[in-house]
Chains A and B, each alone.
Chain A
Amino acid sequence: MDIGKAVLGILDEVLQLGPRAADLSADSPLLGAIPELDSMAVVAVLTLVEERFGVTIEDDEIDGAVFASLATLTHFIEAKMAA
């Protein structure tokens, strides 16, 4: 499955990106660039990631770098799934 696409779907669902979703590339910045992505939105994203991909995420694994871009978030999930 295409994890990047699934991650974009989760962001769209939580943040209601609408047409902005189509403009997001792998390297587009997330944290700080999308105003809706606040701490509660991050919690919602993490919850959906855990439920959809069957992983458990500890909060000390999460920092700003994970949510820097679509690519960093996707890479983080791929690494969790491989672990």
Chain B
Amino acid sequence: MSTPELAAFFAPGTAGKLFSLLYCPPANITVRGAVMYLAPVAEEMNKGRRMAALQARAWANVGWFVLQQDSFGCGDSAGEFADATWAGWLADALRAAHWLAERTGHRPVLWGARAGALLACAMAHQDELLRQVLFWHPVASGKLLLQQLLRLKVAGNLFAAEPGGASTRQWRACWEAGQGVEIAGYEWSSALALACDALALTPPSGGGQLAWLELAGGPASDLSPAAQAGVSAWRAAGWAVDAQPVSGAAFWQVVEIVEVPELIHYSTQMLENLPAVDI
């Protein structure tokens, strides 16, 4: 079997060099298009690395260029997480998407995993040419993302008999007062947290094509009520939505690094069903 060619390089970003990986289809395979990965944030990004690499390889093998770029302050890119801003991440991601289109001749499909879906969504709002999107178990809103991160921080206090430790509300107040908050080794600045707090997975007007994959721990039957509501909202905004529940572990939060082959199977299939878009 042929293997995709992998190019590793540093791309220019608004505030520093960004570590990038470009998976290229093998020479004997007809090119189908391009995909840009928008990773989850903080520890979920690390936990998701293996699945992201497996998926990128699977797509490259059937003709897709796949770009994975670490955001500023994340992974092997320049900068500290504490200095990252949402506006910077968005500007860098748009710049990378345009570079990928130039490089490959194809407008990239935006592949957003978890909180990366919020970034993909923001990119589609900014650029009406980026209208093919694929979500991996998207985070519904920035508020929910922050609440879940903060809850990990206060887990020990949840059932404390005596009110002692700080609550999520108190940590949120720190952000509102302009202070950073450290969560599991990541320093969330006030600016980044407040920007994230305002994010939602709102469909851009004008329509496009969206593939929505959701993981269920047990046998996958239906989409969750939350995902069903999301799918309906995107359809109402004129998007053609292909939604698929997948049976498998929440690989971005479990302790062990796990693989969910079914997710790769469906994702690969769903991308094949998208109409090709040249620039």
Question: B158: which A residues are within 8 A, CB to CB?
Answer: 39, 42-43, 59, 62
CB pair A54 B140 closer than 8 Å: yes
Nearest residue in B to A9 (C-beta to C-beta)? B218
B152 within 8 A of A: yes
Q: Beyond A12-B218, A63-B159, is A53–B226 a contact (Cβ under 8 Å)?
A: yes
CA A64 – CA B217 in complex, angstroms? 25
Residues of A within 8 A of B147 (CB): 50, 56-58
Asked whether, in the complex, the Cβ of A59 is within 8 Å of the Cβ of B169, the reply is yes
Does A51 touch B at the CB level, under 8 Å? yes
- Please report which residues of chain B, range 82-133, place their CB below 8 angstroms from some CB of chain A when the two chains form the complex: none
Which label, helix, strand, loop or mixed, suits the secondary structure of the A interface? helix
B169, A13: Cβ atoms closer than 8 Å? no
CB distance from B145 to the nearest CB of A (A): 10
Q: Does A40 contact B (CB under 8 A)?
A: yes
Is there a chain A Cβ closer than 8 Å to B206's Cβ?
no
Chain B residue nearest to A40 (CB atoms) is B155
**Which residues on the B side are within 8 Å of A58 (C-beta)?**
147, 168-169
| Chain A residues whose C-beta falls within 8 Å of the C-beta of B156 in the assembled complex | 39
Tell me whether B205 is interfacial, beta carbon within 8 Å: no
Which one, A10, A43, A54, contacts B225 given CB within 8 A?
Answer: A54
Report the interface size class on chain A: 20 to 34
Q: Which of A14-66 contact B (CB under 8 A)?
A: 31, 39-40, 42-44, 46-48, 50-54, 56-60, 62-64
Task: Give the Cβ gap from B245 to chain A, nearest Cβ, in Å.
Answer: 11
Within B132-176, the residues touching A (CB, 8 Å) are 137, 140, 143-144, 147-148, 151-152, 154-159, 167-169
- CB distance A39 to B226 under 8 Å? no
Bound-state CA distance A75–B225 (Å) is 17
A1 within 8 A of B: yes
Are B144 and A50 in touch, CB under 8 angstroms?
A: yes
Which residues of B in the span 191-228 have a Cβ within 8 Å of any Cβ on A?
217-218, 222, 224-226
- Chain B residues packing against A (C-beta within 8 Å): 137, 140, 143-144, 147-148, 151-152, 154-159, 167-169, 217-218, 222, 224-226, 229, 253
Q: A48-B217, A52-B225, A63-B159 are in contact. List 12 more A-B contacts (CB 8 A).
A: A39-B156, A42-B159, A43-B152, A46-B151, A47-B151, A53-B226, A54-B140, A54-B226, A58-B168, A59-B151, A59-B154, A81-B225
User: Interface of A with B (CB < 8 Å)?
Assistant: 1, 9-10, 12-13, 31, 39-40, 42-44, 46-48, 50-54, 56-60, 62-64, 81
